[in-house]
């Protein structure tokens, strides 16, 4: 077991709880903790011990979570933008037949065939 593993292992639970509070999802929090450990392990040799390992890892975890939340928002906006139907005139999809009893002639169409 390396020195980093000895220092970081007891903090896993509180890093997971911290990440969950910031992200709201256990799956994303687990990914964030893994990314935190990876970044911490890579930077361990540069750690100057001006703060405690706990403070240092919490700061890394906070930055990882903020980046994940920002990127999640970007992905959602990109996905919504690409899923918008284009103006297609009178074309309708197979589930929306204009003029049927379920969808009157004035009902908007989805734009997909």
Is 109 a domain residue? no
Could you report the per-residue pLDDT of 52-92, keeping only the tens digit for each? 999 999 999 999 999 999 998 776 666 666 665 555 555 55
Q: What is the pTM of this model?
A: 0.65
Is 101 a domain residue? no
Average pLDDT over residues 35-47: 96
Q: What is the mean pLDDT of the chain?
A: 82
Is 107 a domain residue? no
39 lies in which domain range?
A: 3-83
Count of domains forming the chain: 1
Is 98 a domain residue? no
Is 104 a domain residue? no
Is 79 a domain residue? yes
Could you tell me the CATH number of the domain that includes residue 31? 1.10.1740.10
Has residue 113 got a pLDDT over 50? no
Provide the pLDDT for residue 110.
59
Is 63 a domain residue? yes
Q: What is the token pair recorded at 9?
A: 């292992």
Is 69 a domain residue? yes
Q: Which residue pairs from 108-111 have beta carbons closer than 8 angstroms and sit at least 24 positions apart in sequence?
A: 110/85, 111/85, 111/86, 111/87
For residue 63, CA distances in Å to 3, 39, 60 come to 23, 11, 5
């Amino acid at each position: 077991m390396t020195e980093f593993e000895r220092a970081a292992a007891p903090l896993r639970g509180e890093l997971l709880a911290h990440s969950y509070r910031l992200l709201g999802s256990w799956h994303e929090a687990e990914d964030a903790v893994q990314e935190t450990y990876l970044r911490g392990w890579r930077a361990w040799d540069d750690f100057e011990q001006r703060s405690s390992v706990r403070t240092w890892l919490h700061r890394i975890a906070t930055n990882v979570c903020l980046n994940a939340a920002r990127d999640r928002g970007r992905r959602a906006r990109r996905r919504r933008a690409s899923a918008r139907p284009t103006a297609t005139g009178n074309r309708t999809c197979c589930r929306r037949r204009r003029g049927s009893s379920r969808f009157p002639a004035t009902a908007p169409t989805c734009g997909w065939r």
